[in-house]
Amino acid sequence: MCGIVGYVGNASGRANATHGALDVVLEGLRRLEYRGYDSAGVAVVAEGSISSRKKSGKLSNLLDELEEHPLPGSLTGIGHTRWATHGGPTDRNAHPHLADGGKLAVIHNGIIENFAELKQELLAKGVEFASETDTEVAAALLGDIFRNKLKGGADGGLTKAMQLACQRLEGAFTLLAVHADQPDVVVAARRNSPLVVGLGEGENFLGSDVSGFIDYTRKAVELGQDQIVTITSDSVDITDFFGAPAVGKEYTVDWDPASAEKGGYASFMEKEIHDQPDAVAQTLLGRSDARGHLILDELRIDPQLLKQVDKIIVLACGTAAYAGLVAKYAIENWCRIPTEVELAHEFRYRDPIVNSKTLVVSISQSGETMDTLMAVRYAREQGALTVSICNTNGSTIPRESDAVLYTHAGPEIAVASTKAFLAQITAAYLFGLYLAQLRGNIFTGQIKDVLADLNKIPAKIQKILDSSTELRELARSMKDEKSVLFLGRHVGYPVALEGALKLKEIAYIHAEGFAAGELKHGPIALIEEGQPVFVVVPSPRGRDSLHSKVVSNIQEIRARGARTLVIAEEGDEAVRDYAEHVFYVPETPTLLMPLLTTVPLQLFALELASGKGYDVDQPRNLAKSVTVE
């Protein structure tokens, strides 16, 4: 949540002098729209003063405001898309916030937990506030330190003021500031909230993530916890909150701007659903040698420590938690290690039993999910080993974990996750197989067989996408439905949960996912005439197949008037007599089925929400990365 962009350029020193600060900042904000927001604003430093514009609503509202009230040309600027926390989504609560007589502008991602105490202190000094936000308190504190304690910046400038201010702030925050008295400088601070530096030629950048500056450079610098960075057109200086020098880690972004565009699809979500064959293939690429041994180069943990693990806890939130549920089935099956799946925001508040033989696996697309980050930190404090499954190179959770397994899904722009979910499941399978290989639970030949089956998945996903016309038409015809239920068993259960979540996220209708075995324990009371129910049917193959039990569930709900919409494996003719609609997926081993059965449910949610005329990429009230607890 919240998109942040900062820029300093030098027209005489740039290889490309065709863009000014406003151009860069607005393009960065456009690329960061996927994070979710309800207002937007910019500020530039020009002619010895700060000029700012901000509007509630979409970025287009800000563009209209800028057309009516243009800003002067400038080579220094900051921009922000806000997801409301303190104070509603109004013009006055939008960022930037001004202080020091209008000479200082500040934007902020996160929450200042001690804002009330600081506000009372500043009110006693005669400071007046124009908004309801904690951000304006941080701006006022920074302005007060700059003007009064540092005598207008003479005793250290904006960087020193930021250091002193951050020593007083509590919570999670990224702050960017510009001051009219230092027109060629942007100063930023980071604690428990994402921020990355972009390195250009004669220009430098700041962003919530690399999307904010990917049009201009692929060279980036990771910032560590509790660090402050000062950028000019030709320098990047990093310190800690107390002024001690620090060093960031440079890396190169391995995707280009075109991969973040819609590519001819009506929405990013539709594009990303169609990206899934490639996302799974890329996550599998290069993970094994010629003998069939898994080689996970990023997992740099002493194998002896992994062999001693006697419990695994998977930590995640939302869609990633459902990927974790799939991981539980696979890891316990292959590794024979007890595996729990915890919602990260509940984990550290229940006094969990964690020790040096516990392995904590966190799953986060962005690597910045605050609940998951804080849970990982807690686990490490208790002595647990930590592994991250993540899609974003250089983000906080991988950096603070003992090891990381990166998915390679590419940038995911739509707020509702699709391709990242399948990539997370794929990575979890790889991790489970690797752990089983290390511990000797299964033979190399078995691993080769599973990898061979995994490598067939991309083509099978493509087959589903290519034959989805009937499903799409059904979804469009159901746009006025008020409720849809989802049932599944075994690995079909997390698929049912994910199917319901997708519908809630983008279509805003009641949807619930249930374990099919729970039906008679309460949920069957929801079944009435015409109630649509998706049922994810297990394969009829296998010694311990649950197929017959789920077919019985279908009969039970149909007898009570339900419309039964069935996801089944090709060749399963037994379900036809009990289903109003059957959507087949290619045959594949049971544990791997979620990589296929999820796809029709994604398409259904996409088409139903689109039929209602909703913005599927930026659903109401939601943000791509939840970076506050």
Q: Which residue has the higher pLDDT, 431 or 517?
A: 431
CA distance 360 to 376: 8
Closest alpha carbon to 412 in 521, 615, 249, 262: 262
Q: What is the pLDDT of residue 627?
A: 64
Q: Which amino acid is at 106?
A: V
**DSSP 8-state class, residue 538:** P
CA distance 419 to 462: 13
Q: What is the pLDDT of residue 626?
A: 73
Task: Judge if the upstream peptide bond of residue 96 is cis by omega within 30 degrees of 0.
Answer: yes
Strand-strand pairing, 385-390 and 403-406:
parallel
Q: Longest C-alpha distance within the chain, in Å?
A: 82
Confidence of residue 607 (pLDDT cuts 50, 70, 90): very high
Closest alpha carbon to 329 in 319, 320, 340, 318: 340
| Average pLDDT rounded to a whole number, residues 525-533 | 92
Contact 223, 238 (CB under 8 A): yes
Closest alpha carbon to 537 in 548, 528, 527, 526: 548
Q: Which residues pair with 39 in a beta bridge?
A: 56, 82
Is the pLDDT score of 247 beyond 70? yes
CA distance 518 to 504: 21
Q: Which residues pair with 205 in a beta bridge?
A: 7, 198
Q: Is 317 a catalytic residue?
A: no
CA distance 354 to 537: 36
For residue 615, count other CB atoms closer than 10 A to its CB.
Answer: 15
| Average pLDDT rounded to a whole number, residues 266-288 | 90
Q: Which residue spans within 423-574 are E strands per DSSP?
A: 483-488, 510-515, 532-536, 563-569
Q: What is the pLDDT of residue 543?
A: 52
Q: What is the pLDDT of residue 394?
A: 76
Is the pLDDT score of 622 beyond 50? yes
pLDDT > 70 in the chain, percent? 95
For residue 356, count other CB atoms closer than 10 A to its CB.
Answer: 11
Is the pLDDT score of 557 beyond 80? yes
Is the pLDDT score of 240 beyond 90? yes
Is the pLDDT score of 387 beyond 90? yes
**What are the residues whose beta carbons fall under 8 Å from the beta carbon of 417, sequence distance 6 or more?**
318, 319, 320, 365
Instruction: Tell me the Ramachandran region of residue 360: left when phi exceeds 0, alpha when psi lies from -120 to 50, beta otherwise.
Output: beta
**What are the residues whose beta carbons fall under 8 Å from the beta carbon of 354, sequence distance 6 or more?**
313, 360, 379, 382, 383, 384
Q: Which residue has the higher pLDDT, 420 or 31?
A: 420
What is the average pLDDT score of the chain?
Answer: 91
Options 54, 271, 419, 624, the catalytic residue: 624
Is the pLDDT score of 137 beyond 90? yes
**Which residue matches tokens 């993530």?**
209
CA distance 221 to 474: 47
Helices 594-611 and 419-439 pack at an angle, to 10 degrees, of 170
| Cβ burial 155-176 (10 Å sphere, 16+ → b, else e) | ebbbbbbbbbbbebbebbbbbb
Question: C-alpha 222: how far from its chain's center?
Answer: 17
332-380 pLDDT, tens digit per residue, is 999 999 999 999 999 989 889 999 999 999 999 999 899 999 999 999 9
Q: What is the pLDDT of residue 211?
A: 85
> How buried is residue 232: exposed, middle or buried, by Cβ count under 10 Å (0-12/13-18/19+)?
middle
**Which residue matches tokens 């007898």?**
559
| Average pLDDT rounded to a whole number, residues 64-91 | 91
For residue 149, which phi and psi values (nearest 5 degrees)?
Answer: -75, -35
Structure tokens belonging to residue 594: 């979620």
Confidence of residue 92 (pLDDT cuts 50, 70, 90): very high
Closest alpha carbon to 232 in 197, 280, 184: 184
- CA angle (389 as vertex; 337, 371 as ends), nearest 5: 95
Options 2, 166, 317, 335, the catalytic residue: 2
**DSSP 8-state class, residue 335:** H
86-90, 167-171, 255-259, 439-443: range with lowest mean pLDDT: 255-259
Q: Dihedral through CA 615, CA 261, CA 604, CA 598, nearest 10?
A: -130
Q: Which residues pair with 404 in a beta bridge?
A: 388
- Integer distance in angstroms from the first to the last C-alpha of the chain? 12
Domains and CATH numbers, the chain: 3-253 (3.60.20.10), 261-455 (3.40.50.10490), 465-618 (3.40.50.10490)
Q: Is 2 a catalytic residue?
A: yes
What sign for the dihedral angle of Cα 130, 42, 70, 63? negative
- CA angle (229 as vertex; 227, 231 as ends), nearest 5: 175
| Cβ burial 283-297 (10 Å sphere, 16+ → b, else e) | bbeebbeeebebebe
489-500 pLDDT, tens digit per residue, is 999 999 999 999
Contact 444, 437 (CB under 8 A): yes
For residue 56, which phi and psi values (nearest 5 degrees)?
Answer: -75, 160
Q: Which amino acid is at 30?
A: R
Q: What is the pLDDT of residue 259?
A: 66
Q: What is the pLDDT of residue 14?
A: 44
Give the containing element (helix H, strand E) for 182.
strand 182-191
Residue 627 to residues 228, 275, 364, 401, 405: CA-CA distances in angstroms? 19, 26, 11, 17, 21
Q: What is the pLDDT of residue 490?
A: 94
